[in-house]
């Protein structure tokens, strides 16, 4: 019987450990570490970095501009012209692609020639998000709405609100655009009177802010003119029978009748003065001239004279008037319409430059001058919102053939008498 050789387990384990150790040592001896890769870019290779993708979403919100004017009651003829001028500007801007792709949206409110309605309308516009509002006609409405503009810091444009009380030294958000402060209105009138050698001036003013301001302006402007006498009659705003006032002025021997201080009575004063045999010039109140001429007829020819912020003879005015008459029911483009057109363009330019913040818009308006088509002067402002270098025109109605398409069907047109030198801004 053969014997089995039994190998102790302890010996087997020891042998296994020795073999494992030898195997590990061999591996360590043959392992190599790769050299790091050369990441240097050769000099002749150009590298570029991808530009970040612009994920900004363009602002397509409409630019809201308030149309705050008199569409009913006393001053509606002025306000309707303003409305149509603003609409023409908005339509043309939008048709051309808007302001950086944003459309103009007009927010309309009728002041009804009433201060309370003006304030509530303006406040609702501001709640609706307007960046500015324009079109104010009545001085009484202006006095109330200007306070809102200054308090809430939203630009407000006045068109035919000329009381000298509406602006203060601290005004920064209220801007005149066409009619200057009442004391400035009477300066070119006094110059014209002197140039014509007139010695007796009669005037009828209305008993409200504008009329009283004109009264004061006349007294100041004529106080230092030697040899000129002045007689002023004060009538209520709604007055339409001026017989008693005209008799006094006729007895006085007036050589010119200043109706500048009574806008609502303009038509009646022109007609009734002619009926009284007063064959003398009658100066208007920056009235819609077509309203006066159409209502008075031949009595206006060679007699009715008025001021404006536009140059009716300029090609720019006449081109604008043709476009305006193609969309408006009005028969003539008044300076109120040109002012409305200018307001929208000035605000649109400001928003395009500085954005929607009303305070920034106001500052842009103060910092810049605007060339409005048809205006008789560049439009710019003092720190308190008065027109900085106004040059009103003074015209008389003449029987003539108007420029083609500018006053269609009419046999009259304004003839320039004088263009004022730049007026010294009134300081409140």
Considering the entire predicted model, what is its pTM? Answer: 0.83
d(CA 353, CA 361): 9
- What number does CATH give the domain 63-179+313-391? 3.40.50.2300
Nearest to 205 by CA among 183, 182, 237, 249: 237
User: What burial letters (b/e) apply to 340-365, b meaning 16+ CB within 10 Å?
Assistant: bbbbbbbbbbbbeebebebeebbebb
pLDDT (0 to 100) of residue 3: 34
Task: Name the residue among 375, 407, 379, 372 with its Cα closest to residue 393.
Answer: 375
In tens digits, the chain (428 residues) has pLDDT values of 333 333 343 433 333 433 343 344 443 343 444 444 444 444 544 444 555 655 567 789 999 999 999 999 888 999 999 999 999 999 999 999 999 999 999 999 999 999 999 999 999 999 999 999 999 998 899 999 999 999 999 999 999 998 889 999 999 999 999 999 988 999 888 988 998 999 999 999 999 878 888 999 999 999 989 999 999 999 999 999 999 999 999 999 999 999 999 988 988 999 999 999 999 999 998 989 999 999 999 999 999 999 999 999 999 999 999 999 999 999 999 999 999 999 999 999 999 999 999 999 999 999 999 999 999 999 999 999 999 999 999 999 999 999 999 999 999 999 999 899 899 999 99
Amino acid 209: pLDDT: 78
* CATH 3.30.70.20 at 183-309+395-403+408-419, yes or no: no
Among 217, 52, 71, smallest CA distance to 137 is for 71
* Burial zone of 14 (CB within 10 Å; 0-12 exposed, 13-18 middle, 19+ buried): exposed
What pLDDT score was predicted for residue 264? 83
CATH 3.40.50.2300 boundaries in the chain:
63-179+313-391, 183-309+395-403+408-419
Predicted local confidence at residue 202, as pLDDT: 98
pLDDT of residue 306: 95
């Amino acid at each position: 019987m053969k014997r089995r050789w039994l190998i102790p387990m302890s010996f087997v384990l020891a042998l296994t450990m020795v073999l494992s150790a030898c195997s590990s040592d061999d591996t360590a001896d043959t392992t190599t570490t790769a050299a790091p890769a050369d990441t240097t870019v050769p000099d002749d290779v150009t590298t570029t970095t991808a530009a970040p993708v612009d994920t900004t979403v363009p602002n397509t919100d409409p630019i809201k501009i308030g149309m705050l004017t008199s569409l009913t009651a006393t001053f509606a003829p002025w306000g309707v012209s303003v409305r149509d001028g603003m609409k023409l500007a908005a339509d043309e801007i939008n048709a051309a692609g808007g302001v950086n792709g944003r459309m103009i949206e007009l927010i309309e409110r009728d002041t009804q020639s009433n201060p309370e309605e003006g304030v509530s309308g303006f406040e609702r516009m501001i709640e609706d998000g307007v960046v500015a509002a324009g079109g104010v006609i009545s001085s009484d409405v202006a006095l109330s709405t200007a306070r809102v503009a200054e308090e809430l810091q939203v630009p407000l444009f006045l068109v035919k609100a000329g009381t000298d009380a509406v602006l203060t030294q601290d005004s920064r958000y209220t801007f005149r655009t066409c009619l200057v402060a009442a004391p400035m209105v009477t300066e070119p009138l006094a110059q014209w009177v002197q140039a014509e050698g007139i010695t007796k001036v009669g005037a009828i003013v209305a008993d409200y802010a504008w009329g009283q301001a004109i009264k004061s302006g006349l007294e100041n402007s004529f106080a230092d003119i030697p040899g000129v006498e002045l007689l002023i009659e004060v009538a209520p705003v709604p007055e339409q029978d001026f017989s008693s006032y005209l008799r006094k002025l006729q007895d006085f021997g007036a050589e010119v009748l200043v109706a500048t201080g009574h806008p609502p009575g303009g038509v009646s004063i022109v007609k009734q003065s002619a009926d009284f045999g007063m064959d003398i010039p009658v100066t208007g109140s920056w009235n819609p001239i077509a309203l006066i001429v159409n209502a008075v007829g031949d009595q206006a020819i060679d007699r009715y004279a008025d001021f404006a912020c536009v140059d009716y003879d300029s090609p720019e005015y006449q081109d604008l008037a043709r476009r305006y008459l193609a969309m408006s029911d009005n028969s003539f483009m008044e300076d109120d319409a040109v002012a409305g057109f200018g307001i929208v363009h000035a605000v649109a330019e400001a928003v395009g430059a500085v954005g929607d913040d009303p305070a920034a818009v106001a500052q842009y308006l103060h910092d810049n001058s605007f060339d409005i088509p048809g205006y008789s002067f560049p439009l710019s402002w003092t720190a308190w919102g008065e027109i900085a270098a106004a040059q009103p025109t003074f015209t008389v109605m003449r029987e003539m053939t108007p420029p083609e398409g500018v006053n269609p069907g009419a046999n009259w047109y304004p003839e320039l008498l004088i263009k004022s030198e730049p007026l010294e801004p009134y300081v409140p």
